[in-house]
Amino acid sequence: MAVPNARLANGISIPVFGIGMDQVRDPQQAYDALSFALRIGYRSIDTASSYGNERDVGRAVKDSGIDRKDLYIATKVTGADQGYDATLRAFEKSSKLLGVDYLDGYLIHWPGKYMFVETWRALERLYREKRVRVIGVCNFNPHHIERLRREAEILPLVDQVEWHPYFDQPDLAAYCASHDIVIEAWSPLMCGGVVLEDHVIAGIASRIGKSPAQVILRWHLQGKRRIFPKSVTPGRIEENSRIFDFELSPADMSAIDALGGRQMRIGPNPDVFFDG
Ligand SMILES: NC(=O)c1ccc[n+]([C@@H]2O[C@H](COP(=O)([O-])OP(=O)(O)OC[C@H]3O[C@@H](n4cnc5c(N)ncnc54)[C@H](OP(=O)(O)O)[C@@H]3O)[C@@H](O)[C@H]2O)c1
């Protein structure tokens, strides 16, 4: 699998594609899905302490025998662990469960209301101590990042936000581009929802001989967003990875872009969701 890299503001290059582990709560299912993905060439993993599968991810990584430096492993600090000391403790716990002595990515899962600056300072410390290569945020709007710009020292390298053909965030993308922050699209397939049956996408898919999921994932990549679609189904894990040997035309890109006007969020709005 020839996965291109995205170059981050700190000069580190990371794979633009991997597997997401949300809602894979059954330990054996998490282990089996990730083991299969690693076997067929996936090297980037997105999990979170709140997904409850860090231990299973760690087992699959260890048993894969893949050199640690060839993997990109990211996890997240949850709302209950926000704050400086609690975040440092959460980092140790996640690292232990994952069986790693450094993390590739460590992200704040949701901004919450009050403590994300303190949480961010803990991430800055972990970054300076070289315990994590990439620090970032999820679900941050420009006003959250502006606060970090005023009150912290290092800017997030990535912002992981909801983004699929029925929900785009062009203003956030423009803001992130102006600060060299790479966007990661969560629920890139709208969580397997109605977008997979959209007639514009289905039309493009049948014309170029790809599946709707492959068309959507390719659209993300050409839109310069990192993606890690989740699947526990081997056939889909494989299908989702076959997106590096074709290109969508500018007209097809625009046709899918135009669907974003629907603004159909499937997750919470970070400005009104204060948990994590
Ligand atoms: N930071 C955040 O707040 C946040 C929030 C949500 C997600 N995320 C991250 O983003 C990752 C991806 O998002 P997501 O898991 O919400 O949703 P997603 O990747 O958009 O969609 C996953 C769903 O689509 C199905 N699916 C996968 N490939 C398919 C294909 N080729 N054809 C048809 N259906 C397919 C899967 O089914 P099966 O598994 O049954 O095959 C699963 O139900 C997560 O796993 C997580 O790592 C982060």
Residue 15 tokens read as 């794979």
Cβ(16) to ligand 1 under 6 A?
Answer: no
- The predicted structure's pLDDT at residue 1: 87
Q: What is the pLDDT of residues 182-191, one digit of tens each?
A: 999 999 999 9
Q: Which amino acid is at 88?
A: L
pLDDT band at 243 (very low <50, low <70, confident <90, very high): very high
Q: Per-residue pLDDT averaged across 170-190, rounded?
A: 98
Closest atom of ligand 1 to 22 CA is 45
Q: What is the pLDDT of residues 63-100, one digit of tens each?
A: 999 999 999 999 999 999 999 999 999 999 999 999 99
Cβ(233) to ligand 1 under 6 A?
Answer: yes
- The predicted structure's pLDDT at residue 204: 98
pTM of the shown model: 0.98
Return the number of other C-beta atoms located less than 10 Å from residue 112's C-beta: 21
DSSP letter at 81? G
Cβ(138) to ligand 1 under 6 A?
Answer: yes
- 27-59 in b/e form (b: 16+ CB < 10 A) is eeebbbbbebbbeeebbbbbbbbbbbbbebbbb
- For the chain, give the mean pLDDT: 97
Atom 32 (ligand 1) nearest CA:
213
Closest atom of ligand 1 to 239 CA is 31
Is 42 noted as a catalytic residue in this protein? Answer: no
**Torsion angle, CA of 19/23/29/31, rounded to 10 degrees?**
50
